[in-house]
Amino acid sequence: MASAPKLPLPRRTWLKLMATLAAMPASAQQTPPAAGRRGRGEPIPQRVNKDMATAALATLGLQFTDPQLDMLLPVVNRQLASYEELRKIDIPAETPPALLFFPVQPGSPMPLGRSTWRAPKAPALPRFKDPEELAFLPAVQLGGLIRAKKITSTALTKMYLQRLKTYSPKLLCVITLTEDLALEQAKQADTDLRRGRHHSPLHGVPYGAKDLFDTKGILTTWGAEPYQNRIPDSDATVIEKLRTAGAVLVAKLSMGALAQGGLWFKGMTKTPWNYDQTSSGSSAGSGSATAAGLVGFSIGTETLGSIVSPSTRCGVAGVRPTFGRVSRAGAMALCWSMDKIGPICRSVADCAEVLRILNGPDGKDLAVTNAPLHWDARKPLKNLKIGYLAADFERTNEKNKPVYTTALDALRKAGAKLEPIQLPAFPLNAISFVLDAEAAAAFDDLTRSAGIDQLSGQTPGDWPNQFRSSRLIPAVEYIQAQRARTLYMQKFGEFMSQWDAFVSPTNSQSLTATNLTGHPQVVVPCGFVDGLPLGLLFTGRLYDEGTPMRLAYAYEQATDWHTKHPTLQS
């Protein structure tokens, strides 16, 4: 076999160059005289010339000689035709790349066996005269009242629908009220119960879903102007599972446009604790509506803080599960290797029950595994090895420190033995651009059609600018970042092998770290500063949401922050 000709430059350098050149807009491309041949004597149009190549190389920190440039230009221009052919292929938005992220590393076995479940002892059911008195009740207690036939799902649903109509206009937390569907589902839940069919602890409980989950025949807008009239023809897996469990969908809740922040096409979603402040995002409406008592519970998603941040800002509990715990089929994709779905509720016990329903594969999202889910709300804390990120607590805002000091003391009094720890050192900012690269790919059609110009957010930090600038991320650098991510996942896995869980502020670097590694986190309210809630964050091992939920539940029971509710404006 003849040996391959030697390239004048490393292959890696060639690939970097081609990726950068391909990202250049057509308007910047000139057509110099043809040089080179396409096939049997056919000239190759030289739309990328030497000056353009030199400028592109400068962005990569590279400089080639004139003979090297003359040699590479025919290759680059030939590849340009391939890129253009690729762009003509109609790739549906739900199509994932032929690459699969998996959080478990070699040497770390997958958890096996059946799920185990021991919920908290059910509290006594409250007495009430008006369903409105139940608005802030935890979802499992609402479900208990329905099962005991103290109230019907229909009556509870009508109460929440009225609250949504009354309070959501100022909070801007609802995109679509699903009133007809909700009343139909509530009626069915009541009928099933009368016939002896009780589907789950959340049977008949009204909930809201972030508006990136497809709902058959109902608007699913992704919070973005270009998709305001988008109506899917099927339900997301999450919606199907909740329907099967007997839950009642009352609203599609607001989200920051294309899952960024709290700004959507009708304005900024507000936290019910301060109508001049955003609820954060991107699960903005899920956090706001749950805290305001407009739904029994809600569903959000997180790629880099979108459950933890609004849960913190609104003073509610949230669980971001292990990557691959919950199917994302029928949910808007932002970053295939980082997107996760989880509950936002008024108690940790609620989060556990919702996660139990959502858990497991559906045969559609191939990233989802059949790992068991364990929850023991009565497990003693004394044998758990628990760390706390001392430096993160020390670095926090001076106003926040007393709140966190009190929170850690309460956790210790609840039985947790806390040891100071620190995360493995790693330049996470050097690899976090994988989110930008995948998001730009997910919405490449919108960028090319200039649809992103319609979005309300047009600052340097908003998606339009990030999608445009991400076109200049070289393919090789993206893959290198994913390889470096593997190294960090190995380091983080070794670190977590020493701890059952650890505690941190919600603005900890652990938020970025665990969204890249796929580890689960649980957040609960822990106090207020300047009238706004703060949150305490618990991190667990892969596929072990039960331990951080147990710690969060112990803290919740030792304090009363989860019982605080905002005064609403109509």
Do residues 405 and 396 touch, judged by C-beta distance below 8 A?
no
328: left (phi over 0), alpha (psi -120 to 50) or beta: alpha
Tokens, residue 399: 């106003």
Do residues 503 and 551 touch, judged by C-beta distance below 8 A?
yes
Do residues 443 and 412 touch, judged by C-beta distance below 8 A?
no
**CA pair distance 379, 202, nearest whole angstrom:** 23
CA separation, residue 117 to residues 172, 416, 550 (Å): 37, 21, 12
Contacts of 544 (CB under 8 A, 6+ apart): 111, 322, 374, 500, 520
317-320 and 374-376 beta bridge pairing: unpaired
Q: Choose, from 306, 311, 337, 510, the residue flagged as catalytic.
A: 306
306 a catalytic residue:
yes
279 a catalytic residue:
no
Ranges of beta strands (E only) in 56-180 are 116-118, 174-177
Q: What is the largest CA-CA distance in the chain?
A: 88
CA separation, residue 353 to residues 113, 193, 228, 319 (Å): 19, 19, 32, 11
Do residues 333 and 101 touch, judged by C-beta distance below 8 A?
no
Facing residues of 58 across strands?
none
Q: Choose, from 254, 279, 280, 282, the residue flagged as catalytic.
A: 282
Tokens, residue 384: 């758990």
User: ∠ CA(16), CA(20), CA(22), 5° rounding?
Assistant: 120
The DSSP result for 508-524, as a single string, is STHHHHHHHHT--EEEE
Question: What SS3 state is found at 399?
Answer: coil
504 a catalytic residue:
no
Q: Choose, from 16, 210, 252, 270, the residue flagged as catalytic.
A: 210
Side chain identity at residue 175, one-letter code? I
**CA pair distance 380, 378, nearest whole angstrom:** 6
Q: Which residues are catalytic?
A: 210, 282, 306
